[in-house]
Amino acid sequence: MDKGKFVERVFFLLALSSISSLVIITIFIFEEGLPLILHTGLKDFIFSTHWAPTKGYFGIGAMIVSSILVTLGAMVLGVPLGLACAIVLAEFSSERLRRLLKPTLELLAGIPSVVYGFLGVIWLVPLIRDHLGGPGLSLLAAAVILGIMILPTVISISIDALTAVPDVYRDGSIALGATEWQTVRRVVLPAASSGIITAIILGMGRAVGETMAVIMVAGNALKIPSSILDPVRTLTSNIALELGYAAGRHREALFATGIVLFIIIMILNFSATIITRRR
Amino acid sequence: MDLAVRTRKWLRLGSLFLLCLALLPGLGGCQRGSKSGGQALCIAGSTSVQPFAEKLAEVYMHQHPGMRIDVQGGGSSAGIFAAQQGAANLGASSRELVAAEKNLHEISIAWDGIAVIVHPSNPLNNLSLQQLRQLFQGKITNWQALGLPPHAIDLITREEGSGTREAFEHLVMGKTLITPAALVQDSNGAVREIVAGDPYSLGYISAGLVDERVKAVAIDGVMPTRENIKNQKYKLVRRFLLVSREPPAGECKAFVDFILSPQGQGLLEAEGLVGVK
C-alpha cells in the first residue's frame, strides 16, 4: 500500500467519524425524547401551553410560539441592517474600505454569546425597563440582541452572493443608461436573490438555535407573550434552564424539546441548501 | 484482507467506540461506583440536597483518595425508598418522614430557609403567607394591592426541577401552581441580580444568600434570620435529612461524621444553608 493511499484512507475514516457522531447524536436525542412524545401524544406536546414537567404537564406550545416570535423580531431588525451593510460593502465602497470593514463585521461572530447576553442584561434591559416599561427582560430585548448576533451571518453570505454576480450584468445595465442604484435594485439584487435568501435562512437558524444570550435577556416566563415587553421562553432556553436537575419524564421532555428544535433547524438548513442549489 | 472489509471493520469498531462514549452518561451512578472496586458509597434522593451532597462528597473524596461517593437525584421519596431497599447507603430527603418510614435512621444535616426579597428602595416590610401565595398564583399583580404606589409587580421564580422552587411550592403554594407569567431564572444568584436591579420586582432565594443589594421581607412578621430559621419560627423552612436502614457504620459513618463536623457544616453554611450544630 503506498503512502498516498494510506493517508487518503486515514482521512476518509476521520471524515466518517465526524459524520457518525452526528448520526449518534441524532439517534440519542430521538431515543431519549420519543418515549415522552408517545406518552403525551404529539398533539398535546406541541399545542398545549401547560408546562409543569414535575407535575406531569408537558406542553411546549408557548415556547414554540415564543421561539418563532423572537426569531421574527430578530429578522425584522437584523435583515434590513445586514442587507444594507452588504449592499454598501459589495457595491458602493472602495476595495480598501471593504478590506477594513468586512473582517471587522466578521469579528462580531467571534464574540461569545454570553458576552452579548451580559451586555443585554446590564445595558439593554434597564433601558427597556426605564423607558418602555415592563420588567425589561423581554421579547424585545431578546430580538434586539439576536438581531445583532445574526448580522455577521447575513452580511458575509449576502456579500458573497452579491460579488458572485458577474460584472457584465452591471456593465450592461449601466450601458443602457441605468443609474448605479437602479442597477443594484433591478439587476444585481434579483440576480443574487437566492444567495440572499440563503443568508436570511441561515441567519434564522442562528437565531432559533441561540441559547445563552436569550436565557439572560428574555425573562423565560412560560406564558404566550401579549406584548413585545413581555418575558418569553424559547425552546433552547427551556432545555438549558431545566437540564440541571431534571430526572425521568422531565428529562425526556427536555430531549423531546430538542427533537422539535432539531427538526426546525433541519428544515431551515435543507431549504437553504435547496435554494442555493437551484441557482 | 481486502480493503473494503477492513474499512468496514474499522468503521464498526469506530462507531461502537463512539456509541460507548455517547451512552456513558446514561449509565453511571451507583453500579459504576461499586464495580470500580475500592470503597464506594451511594447517596440518592432529593434534588434539593443533591448539589450540597455533591459539594460535600467532592471535598470528602479529595481528603480520602480511594473513597468513592456517588450522588444521585430522583426525589426525596425515591431516595427514602432506595435507603429502605438498601439500594443506596444513604437516602437524602428534603421532607419529613411519614409514619411508615419511621423505621429508618434519620440524621438531620442542615436547615434550608427561603427568603422573599425585594429591591432595597421598596418600602414593603412584611407579607402574610396568604399574600405571598396569591402573589405567586398571579392573583395579586400590582403593588397597589399591597398598599404601595401602583405599578405592575415583576415576579421572579426558579426553574422547574430547582430544589428551592420545589421547597417554595411545598411551603407556600400547596397544591396550587406558580403563575406562568412569572419570570424564570436558573440560579439564586440570577434572581438576586434581577431583584437588585429592578425596583418593582419580587423573588425568593436561599436565605443564606441575601446580601445588602436586596431586602428580605418578613413573613407573617418573622424575619428569615439564622435563629428564626433554626427554631423554625420563620415559616419558609425545611430540614435536610439523610436516612439509612441501619445506623451508619464504617465508611458511611465516617462520611456522616464529616458532614456534621465543623468543616462539613461550614461548607453547607457557605452554600446558603443553616447548620444543625
From CA B272, how far away is CA B211, in angstroms rounded? Answer: 11
pLDDT given at position B152: 93
From CA B50, how far away is CA B92, in angstroms rounded? Answer: 8
Nearest CA to A198 out of A161, A239, A237 is that of A161
From CA A203, how far away is CA A71, in angstroms rounded? Answer: 9
H helices present in A41-111, as ranges: 42-47, 61-87, 95-110
Pairing of strands B39-45, B90-93: parallel
pLDDT-based confidence at B19, cuts 50/70/90? Answer: low
Q: What is the mean pLDDT of the segment spanning A21-46? A: 94
Q: Is the pLDDT of residue B12 over 80?
A: no
Q: How far is CA A68 from CA A63, A173, B57, in A?
A: 8, 40, 43
Q: What is the mean pLDDT of the segment spanning B154-164? A: 89
Q: Is the pLDDT of residue B20 over 70?
A: no
- Put simply, whether A24 touches B (Cβ < 8 Å) is yes
pLDDT given at position B139: 95
Identify from A58, A123, A222 which residue to disrupt to test chain B contact, counting B C-beta atoms within 10 A and taking the largest count.
A222
Residues of A whose CB is below 8 A from B161: 53-54, 242, 244-247, 250
Q: Is residue A201 a contact partner of residue A150, using CB atoms and an 8 Å limit?
A: no
When the pLDDT of each residue in chain B is averaged and rounded to a whole number, the result is: 85
pLDDT given at position A61: 95
Q: What is the mean pLDDT of the segment spanning B160-187? A: 90
pLDDT given at position B157: 96
pLDDT tens column, A184-216: 999 999 999 999 999 999 999 999 999 999 999
pLDDT given at position B73: 81
Q: What is the mean pLDDT of the segment spanning B10-17? A: 55
Nearest CA to A233 out of A214, A255, A252 is that of A214
Nearest CA to B167 out of B211, B206, B126, B221 is that of B206
Q: Is the pLDDT of residue A114 over 60?
A: yes
Q: Is the pLDDT of residue B84 over 80?
A: yes
pLDDT-based confidence at B36, cuts 50/70/90? Answer: very low
- Put simply, whether A220 touches B (Cβ < 8 Å) is yes
Q: Is residue B82 a contact partner of residue B54, using CB atoms and an 8 Å limit?
A: no
pLDDT-based confidence at B2, cuts 50/70/90? Answer: low
pLDDT-based confidence at B163, cuts 50/70/90? Answer: confident
Q: Is the pLDDT of residue B205 over 60?
A: yes
Q: In the beta sheet, which residues pair with residue A57?
A: A52
From CA A189, how far away is CA A185, in angstroms rounded? Answer: 6
Please indicate whether, in this complex, the C-beta atoms of A17 and B74 are within 8 angstroms of each other. no
Locate A188 and state its grid cell: 444585481
Q: Is the pLDDT of residue A45 over 70?
A: yes
Of B15, B73, B177, Cβ closest to residue A245: B73
- Closest residue in chain B to residue A29, using alpha carbons only: B22
Q: How many cross-chain Cβ pairs, A to B, lie less than 8 Å apart?
A: 98
CA of A31 to nearest chain B CA: how many angstroms apart? 11
pLDDT given at position B128: 95
For chain B, the straight-line distance linking the first and the last C-alpha, in angstroms and rounded, comes to 71
Q: Measured at the alpha carbon of residue B215, what is the angle toward residues B209 and B216, in degrees to the nearest 5?
A: 65
From CA B181, how far away is CA B152, in angstroms rounded? Answer: 12
From CA B126, how far away is CA B123, in angstroms rounded? Answer: 9
pLDDT given at position B77: 83
Q: What is the mean pLDDT of the segment spanning A2-18? A: 89
Q: Is the pLDDT of residue B23 over 60?
A: no
pLDDT tens column, B90-125: 999 888 888 888 889 999 999 989 999 999 999 999
Q: What is the mean pLDDT of the segment spanning A129-151? A: 94
From CA B71, how far away is CA B104, in angstroms rounded? Answer: 19
Higher per-residue pLDDT: A144 or B46: A144
When the pLDDT of each residue in chain A is averaged and rounded to a whole number, the result is: 92
From CA A58, how far away is CA A242, in angstroms rounded? Answer: 13
ipTM of the complex: 0.83
SS3 letters across chain B: CCHHHHHHHHHHHHHHHHHHHHHHHHCCHHHHHHHCCCEEEEEEECCCCHHHHHHHHHHHHHHCCCEEEEEEEECHHHHHHHHHHCCCCEEEECCCCCHHHCCCEEEEEEEEEEEEEECCCCCCCEECHHHHHHHHHCCCCEHHHHCCCCCECEEEEECCCCHHHHHHHHHHHCCCCCCCCCEEECCHHHHHHHHHHCCCEEEEEEHHHCCCCCEEEEECCECCCHHHHHCCCCCCEEEEEEEECCCCCHHHHHHHHHHHCHHHHHHHHHCCCEECC
pLDDT tens column, B211-265: 899 999 999 999 999 889 988 899 999 889 999 998 888 889 999 999 999 999 9
- Put simply, whether B11 touches A (Cβ < 8 Å) is yes
Locate A178 and state its grid cell: 441605468
Locate B237 and state its grid cell: 423552612
pLDDT-based confidence at A3, cuts 50/70/90? Answer: confident
Q: Is the pLDDT of residue B209 over 50?
A: yes
- Put simply, whether A250 touches B (Cβ < 8 Å) is yes
pLDDT tens column, A219-268: 999 999 999 999 999 999 999 998 877 778 888 999 999 999 999 999 99
Q: Is the pLDDT of residue A165 over 70?
A: yes
pLDDT given at position A109: 86
- Put simply, whether B74 touches A (Cβ < 8 Å) is yes
